[in-house]
Amino acid sequence: MQAQRKRFIGGNWKSNNTLAKSLELVDSVVNKLEFDNLDVVVSPVSLHIVPIQQAIKNNVQVALQNIGHKGFGAFTGELSFEHVKDLKINWVILGHSERRRTPEISESEEFIANKAVLAINNGLSVIFCIGETIQEMEAKETQAVLEKQLKPLVDQVKDWSKVVIAYEPVWAIGTGKTATPEYAEEIHANIRKLLPDQSIRILYGGSVTKDNAAVLIGQPNIDGFLVGGASLKEDFIHIVNACK
Ligand code: 13P
């Protein structure tokens, strides 16, 4: 029997918007969302997270887009899990391809997994992103790439109730080239086989729109979305509604 998994919709605002614009987005989109029995989480830039959190009037939660690799200490420029917990923020996105694959950033698989484990062991929940490039897909390396990205996490995590996996094919991010529902379903089913627990939610990310959300969420192994561009506009309301 298939495990019941609570659907999850994340809005990754990336490095966009002034504070005023983000507050407007809270008013015009986030505070208009009405749902229960779903997790909805938006992720503004870390500098904005407190005023955004204070402006949210419903059950939408916030997530950081990254976290430091240590606790409090002499790590100039880093945010520690203690800072995050202190402000009652529960979620952090880790392993986004924009942090793995941007040459100037180039976070390694080990580094990402270690940050995830540190966050989880200290009570935070993690949206852990994985995904293949177009070259890797064409070379039929998708499964091997995803396994390699997941392995250091699978080897170390004990409490999987604090993990959501986001499958985001790099070729689909911000390109308008959404994975077909069949392709996404096949990959999600394969990812699930690598995970120790059937109740772990696997999100799809990459050019999710108000027009393709319903058919994607209809796939048995797609438990929600991590939305980029469409989370910065009213379309996000339609995407959340498609998942109710
Ligand atoms: P887009 O929805 O803009 O393709 O971005 C997806 C993404 O990177 C979410 O983390």
Measured torsion, CA atoms of residues 93, 94, 100, 106, in degrees rounded to the nearest 10? 110
Tokens of 47: 């500098």
The catalytic residue among 107, 132, 136, 168 is 168
7-242 to CATH, choices 3.40.50.1860, 3.30.70.100, 3.40.50.620, 3.20.20.70: 3.20.20.70
Domain coordinates in residue numbering, the chain: 7-242
User: Can you list the alpha helix ranges (DSSP code H) found in the chain?
Assistant: 19-28, 49-55, 81-86, 97-100, 109-121, 134-138, 142-156, 181-194, 213-217, 235-242
> Whole-angstrom Cα distance, residue 132 to residue 138?
10
Digit-coded pLDDT (tens) for 114-141 = 999 999 999 999 999 999 999 999 999 9
Least Cα distance to 39 among 5, 7, 62 occurs for 7
Pocket test for ligand 1, best of 173, 175, 202 (most atoms within 8 A of CB): 173
Q: Is 39 in the pocket of ligand 1 (CB under 6 A)?
A: no
141 is catalytic: no
Atom of ligand 1 nearest to the CA of 229: 3
> Phi first, then psi: what are they for 214, rounded to 5°?
-65, -45
The catalytic residue among 96, 98, 107, 136 is 96
185 is catalytic: no
Pocket test for ligand 1, best of 9, 13, 14, 17 (most atoms within 8 A of CB): 14
Please tell me the number of Cα atoms within 13 Å of 46 on its side-chain side. Answer: 16
> Whole-angstrom Cα distance, residue 172 to residue 206?
4
Atom of ligand 1 nearest to the CA of 14: 10
Centre of ligand 1 from the C-alpha of residue 74, in Å:
33
Crossing angle for the helix pair 181-194 and 142-156, to the nearest 10 degrees: 40
Those residues of the chain that have pLDDT short of 70 are 1-3
pLDDT of residue 4: 83
Digit-coded pLDDT (tens) for 15-44 = 999 999 999 999 999 999 999 999 999 999
pLDDT of residue 2: 53
Provide the 3-class DSSP secondary structure of residue 171.
helix
